[in-house]
């Protein structure tokens, strides 16, 4: 089971269904129906498993199409998200299509105070 990790505890992670933007994988891209482990800061000493989710939607996007989507990901607006992507990945990578993945929680860890069990 592959891992999807978040560096912030976004409010959207409390929703039963949530989205995230990810670059396509070279080895094996994300696919609808795939079960993934969701972590907070997977590659750090603060690593914490938040639970498991299933990808139930995937669409190819060129960044965030709306300010709402960008705000759900913790940015002020779509332009703020674009600036962050340029700093993080470079100008050329910013124009690479990304996957907008929609995930549905299957199980959540009870130890996670910001993630509530349904």
Domains of the chain, start order: 2-108 (2.30.130)
pLDDT value at residue 114: 45
- β-partners of residue 102 are 19, 57
Query: 117 pLDDT band (50/70/90 cuts)?
Result: very low
Burial class (CB in 10 A: 0-12, 13-18, 19+), 40: buried
Of 84, 3, 74, 9, the closest CA to residue 46 belongs to 9
Query: 111 pLDDT band (50/70/90 cuts)?
Result: very low
Q: Decide which of 31 and 96 is more confident.
A: 31
Residue range 25-81, pLDDT digits in tens: 888 899 999 999 999 999 999 999 999 999 999 998 875 568 888 887 788 998 898
How big is the CA angle at 20 (ends 19 and 24), to the nearest 5 degrees? 130
Report, as an integer, the average pLDDT of 108-116.
54
pLDDT value at residue 102: 95
């Amino acid at each position: 089971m592959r891992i999807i990790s978040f560096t912030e505890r976004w409010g959207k992670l409390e929703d039963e269904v949530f989205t995230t933007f990810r670059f396509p994988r070279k080895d094996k891209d994300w696919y609808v129906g795939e079960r993934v482990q969701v972590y907070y800061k997977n590659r750090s000493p603060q690593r914490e498993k938040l639970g498991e989710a299933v990808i139930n939607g995937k669409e190819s996007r060129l960044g965030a199409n709306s300010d709402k989507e960008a705000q759900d990901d913790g940015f002020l607006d779509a332009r703020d998200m674009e600036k962050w992507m340029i700093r993080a990945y470079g100008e050329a990578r910013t124009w690479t299509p990304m996957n907008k993945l929609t995930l549905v929680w299957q199980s959540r860890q009870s130890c996670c105070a910001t993630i509530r069990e349904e």
